[in-house]
Amino acid sequence: MSATYAHPEVLVNTEWVASHAKDPKVRVVEVDVDTKAYDEGHVPGAIAWAWNTQLCDTTVRDILPKRQFEELMTQSGIGNDTTVVLYGDNNNWFAAWALWQMKMYGHKDVRIMDGGRKKWLAEGRDVETAAGKSAPASTPYRAMDADNSLRAFLPQVQQAHKSSGAVMIDVRSPQEFSGEILAPPGLPETCQRGGHIPGARNVPWGKACNDDGTFKSSEELQKLYGAEGVTAAKPVIAYCRIGERSSHTWFVLKYLLGINNVVNYDGSWTEWGNLVGAPVEKGAAKSAGQA
């Protein structure tokens, strides 16, 4: 991996995980939308978190409440000083969501396995099918209050739109961005209108990754995002459909490129695209110079 990332300590490679997965101070967690992939086979010793039931408030649309987050950590055998390594399918898509949430609640040492599940399998590394054991932590986990500075809520996004006070980066596919489709192909439509927030730039999240699932180099990432006006000079708001793809881009911008003033708008298009009266722009992305 590149030595020039702003925070290289947040990434570990598959070799590191193979050597440390069963260390007592390390907890490896496979994170996906559900646990189907995990059940087929996973990194030996890893436990599983399902985004749809364990990493969201399942009543109110929100992240996990603090108490539930603490319970999840404790039940997962994670203490405040545990090194947590997250990985998952699809270039660590949902792993990034879990990392974003763990950072909101103040966990110090949480990392991503570069390349995720895909790289682990492609390398022919050992997998096991038995569910990992997660003896509860001996000391109850204590989370900090949620750090909402890592997150954008609707009023902040509306204000940024009105004042052009932030670079809005839409990380969905070009077809979702243009309004041609209302949800990723094959998934249910979850918004009333297609298109994007006026003025948003379109950089699909997966462009940050190589074919093997690892992150692109710092130089490549700077070029990719810099061409769309994403720099440390202006606040950045990342959004997608439900906030998970944009948590991946948030991770890339904050930890790999060192852009501190970036937030994840997890309400995303399922919020904006359903609002009565919200301005919507349709059509393909313009080049940065046309913005």
Partner 1 sequence: MKPENYSERRVDVNGWQVNLTTYKLGEKWHTKADNVSPGAALARIVADTREDSEARALERARELLSRTKRHEV
Contacts of 212 (CB under 8 A, 6+ apart): 115, 118, 119, 122
Contacts of 170 (CB under 8 A, 6+ apart): 177, 196, 197, 200, 201, 202, 203, 239, 240, 269
240 is catalytic: yes
106 Cα distance to chain centroid: 16
CB of 13 to partner 1, least distance (A): 18
Q: Residue 93 is which amino acid? A: W
Residue whose CB is less far from partner 1, 74 or 91: 91
- Rounded Cα gap, residues 100 and 107, in angstroms: 10
- H or E segment to which residue 224 belongs: helix 218-226
Bridge partners (DSSP) of residue 237 are 168, 263
Bridge partners (DSSP) of residue 236 are 167, 262
CB of 141 to partner 1, least distance (A): 30
**56, 191, 209, 240: which one is catalytic?**
240
188 Cα distance to chain centroid: 21
Binding residues for partner 1 (CB under 8 A): 33, 36-37, 40-41, 89-91, 93, 118, 121-122, 124-129, 172-175, 178-189, 194, 204-206, 240, 245, 282-284
Task: Write out the E strands in the chain.
Answer: 11-12, 26-32, 47-50, 83-87, 110-113, 167-170, 201-202, 236-239, 262-264
Residue whose CB is less far from partner 1, 30 or 78: 30
CB of 8 to partner 1, least distance (A): 25
Residue whose CB is less far from partner 1, 82 or 202: 202
CB of 212 to partner 1, least distance (A): 10
Residue whose CB is less far from partner 1, 12 or 121: 121
Residue whose CB is less far from partner 1, 204 or 235: 204
What is the rounded end-to-end Cα distance, in angstroms, of the chain?
33
CB of 73 to partner 1, least distance (A): 27
Residues that are catalytic: 240
